[in-house]
Structure 1
Amino acid sequence: MSKKCEICGKEKKFGNTISFSHKRGNRSWSPNIQRVRAVVNGSNKRINVCTRCLRSGKVQRAN
């Protein structure tokens, strides 16, 4: 499953973790992606959607 929202395009971001001694290491942030059945152009389809889009109502879930 891809770590990308098919509605808003949100995907994995990269940055640094900084310790108390200020050493830096790599880390990443992944969006909360769910595979849901949704109504797309009048038909039911399985799409990868972030929970922010689900919660805000950008996606209409299929019954």
Structure 2
Amino acid sequence: MAQVCGICGKGPQFGNNISHAHNISRRRWNVNLRPVKAKVDGGSKRVRVCTSCIKSGKITKA
């Protein structure tokens, strides 16, 4: 299952882990997704939404 928000399309970001000895390995920051029952097109539907969309009120819970 993709780590993508159903409202804003926000996905994971990528970067590096850098240790004290300056060893570098790739890492990723995942989006904080929550399954929410939201009103979509008049009916209720389960959508995976990031918490920033929930907080800002971009969805209405069913």
Paired position in structure 1 for 2:51: 51
| Structure 2 residue aligned with 1:22 | 22
Task: Structure 1 unaligned segments of length 5 or more: list them.
Answer: none
Q: Corresponding residue for 2:35?
A: 35
Q: TM (normalized to structure 1)?
A: 0.90
Counterpart of 2:6? 6
Q: How many Å separate the matches in 1 of 2:30 and 2:51?
A: 12
Q: TM-score, normalization: structure 2?
A: 0.91
Q: 2:2 is aligned with what amino acid?
A: S
Q: Number of aligned residue pairs: give it.
A: 62
Structure 1 segments (4+ residues) deviating >6 Å: none
Secondary structure at 2:8 match in 1: coil
Could you tell me how far 1:2 is from its partner in structure 2? 2.7
Q: CA deviation at 1:26?
A: 1.2
Gaps of 5+ in 2: none
